Amino acid sequence: MKVLKFGGTSVGTAANIKKVKEIVLQQEEDTIVVVSALGGVTDLILSAARIASTGTGDFHPLLAEIKNRHKQAIDELFNGSGAMVYIAEELMDELEQILTGITLVGELTAKTLDRIAGVGERISSHLVAQFIPGAVRKDSAGLIQTDSNFGKARVDFNITNQKIREEFAEYSGITVMPGFIAKNAKGEFTTLGRGGSDYTAAILAAALKVDSLEIWTDVDGFMTADPHVISKAYTIPELTYSEAMELSHFGAKVIYPPTILPVYQKGIPIRIKNTFNPENEGTLILSNAHTPRERPIKGISSISGISLVTLQGIGMVGVTGISMRLFTALASISVNVILISQASSENSISVAIDEHAVEGAESAIRAEFEKEIETGQVSKIDIERELSIVAIVGENMKHTTGIAGKLFSTIGKNGINIIAIAQGASELNISWVVKTSELRKTLNVVHESFFLSENVELNVFLMGVGTVGSSLLQQLQKQQQKLLDEKHLKMKLTGVANSRKMVFLRDGIEMSSFKEKLEKSEKKSSLKGFVDEMKDMNIYNSVFVDCTASDEVSNFYKEILSANISVVTANKVAASSSYENYIGLKNMAKQKGVKFLFETNVGAGLPIINTLNDLVNSGDRILKIEAVLSGTLNFIFNTISEEIPLSKTIKMAKEQGYSEPDPRMDLNGVDVARKILILARESGYPLEMEDITIERFVPDEFFDGSLDDFWKNIAQLDDGFEEKRLKLEEENKKWRFVAQYENGKAKIGLQEVDSRHPFYDLEGSNNLVMYTTERYNEFPMLIKGYGAGASVTAAGVFADLIKVSNI
């Protein structure tokens, strides 16, 4: 024999009752079916009763709605005829008479409320029993006997169990019974309180020692987290009774914990199933549930609408009875304490309660500790509102070290502030309090951290979709599936902006259609607006990608990092700004546990900065840096010849996209100076821009005036350069524009190198960096390759994104 309980949603409509019939008729053993009222009927009855109790309100519109709901079900199930019509009318007449009586006396007692509260269950049980062929209805109210504590009656299990066993001693087949209702020794209706229909089913299951109790609802069972918040949440196959109770206590609204106590005591398994997805196995609750060793956390649950009340004072230290008095004061006004957190110094104790109980709780506490407040023993009673409690639950946590460390480290790195913490000695759960505004982010972070999600998600916010930004998105799109399949990394474009518009989408923007999304967006592009929106979305694992060359954008890095959002940038401005700003950004990233990466600031996609970091972090000391860091200038000096003078090579560099639109930006050496400055700083030297000596090969006067003036005058240098070039050629030497750092000094300028020098054979627009260190002293480390261009720069940004993901 088994017991099946169907909730209000499961029997909410005639169509749903048909589904219940299918499920019940598929059972291969004797079955007891416990049903709740039709969906929403009980709430309508209670509302009608409250209106009637005013003595002046008209309950008839609500009564008409109750009748209509039952009529619709009867019409569809029985074509509006048969015995069910008379049963429903009789019970509706009874309800109307009682509501009329309430109106006349203008009072609603708990006893009267219990008399009518179960009318919905009484009607629905008749409906289901008559609709299922061969089913018999039995009255649970006549079998379950309680005391007279109306509203939440206590069951007399000795009498109840005896009645149930006698009733079902010789029975076989299908029985349908109403949930929620019972009677006292006088035969007066009582109710079993919250979750009463579950309780009815559990009482029957325990009394008859059935094989299992199945609770059919509108979800697939207990989920690893709230699926409305975390799309990747999935059904938990098995839970222990304790795990199920803990998850339910902290907000998983699948069962009401006290109601399953009877079956828990008898060791009867509970199966949670979905009426609308019966093929799903659901969740099995039993004494010893199977838990994979690699997943000690079974699920995450949360409760919103919480306030934290803190009693604090140095005078509380060492004083016995403080906690007892606090809880007694709260109990006296029926305030339930959901979570307790106390400092080991005993100078404060915090309790989490429902936000609606705050005013009464504060008054009760102030009254209880009036003398201590007057004398200063209690210095303050602090109230924090708009909070939520989050809990992770799992029996195996007690056998696994490092759970708490991993939990709080992950939460902290994502910028979530924990207000209070509680953990029992059983280690069955760890609970903590956060602001409700950070609840979604908290749930996502924890769900992913404990491998309840197979994939790591990285939320990318991209500023700038020019050549580098567009190339980056093309590369991300091309590699997206491979990263997901092989690395379990999901790259998601969550926000993107160009100079005119911006668009955001929490679930991700298709990278192939970002241009269309931007065009259709009604949001005008604004740097502050972009940063504010990114912060307001408050998404875990977020990274801001700067593919601009804007000073203004870099000014927002500190604000972004302080919001626990990583920064990946191809923009050199921040890393080459004042040392104070540079080191401040580095420290901010370290403090917040996020990344500030700018590999492409030097050498585009070449691993120049990353290699330097590895050397320094492993204890090596950088003695000297020599580098050719301008692809533009290297192209010019590799191209200049007897046929192609200096002025023409500069034009060719512009035409082929090597130089800036204004080539003077490359010729003035500032870009190279910024790069050697960044390398010196990453080597551990606090260098400023003004410390770098720039030796220009183009006289200063050529940088004055307009760009047109420059093009008119630059040919004046051709003859002089050709004369010098011929001399170099005779000596078998070449020009290289070299940046150098040594002994605290940096300089950049044109150098002559012979064929033995590593710079001699540097072709095209390639870059080359030589690190002379304590370890690489006699033979310096060389890094050489293509150091300019949108695709390689985008590849370097891509590599930094992979570093942010920590895969």
Tokens linked to 161 = 């169990």
Asked if 242 and 395 count as a contact pair (C-beta separation under 8 A), the reply is yes
Q: Are strands 212-217 and 566-569 parallel, antiparallel or unpaired?
A: unpaired
Dmax (CA) for the chain in angstroms is 121
Specify whether 675 is catalytic.
Answer: yes
Q: Which amino acid is at 496?
A: V
**Helix, strand, coil: what percent of the chain each, to 5?**
45, 20, 35
The sheet that has 502-504: what strands, in order across it?
Answer: 502-504, 489-497, 456-463, 542-546, 566-569, 596-597
Asked if 534 and 565 count as a contact pair (C-beta separation under 8 A), the reply is yes
- In degrees and rounded to multiples of 5, residue 672 shows phi and psi of -65, -40
Beta-carbon contacts of 706 under 8 Å, excluding residues fewer than 6 positions away, are none
Distance (Å, whole) CA 631 – CA 792:
12
Q: Of the listed 490, 592, 675, 784, which one is catalytic? A: 675
CA dihedral 7, 13, 14, 17 (to 10 degrees): -10
Asked if 393 and 297 count as a contact pair (C-beta separation under 8 A), the reply is yes
CA-CA distances (angstroms) from residue 654 to 206, 648, 650, 713? 85, 10, 6, 17
- In degrees and rounded to multiples of 5, residue 741 shows phi and psi of -130, 130
Beta-carbon contacts of 35 under 8 Å, excluding residues fewer than 6 positions away, are 5, 6, 10, 11, 20, 121, 124, 125, 128, 176, 177, 178, 179, 197
Asked if 760 and 753 count as a contact pair (C-beta separation under 8 A), the reply is yes
- In degrees and rounded to multiples of 5, residue 753 shows phi and psi of -125, 145
Tokens linked to 247 = 């998850």
CA-CA distances (angstroms) from residue 350 to 203, 383, 422, 640? 37, 10, 10, 76
Distance (Å, whole) CA 278 – CA 269:
18
684: left (phi over 0), alpha (psi -120 to 50) or beta: left
Helix (H) or strand (E) holding 517: helix 514-520
**Residues linked to residue 223 through DSSP beta bridges, in sequence order:** 235
Q: What residues are annotated to the active site?
A: 675
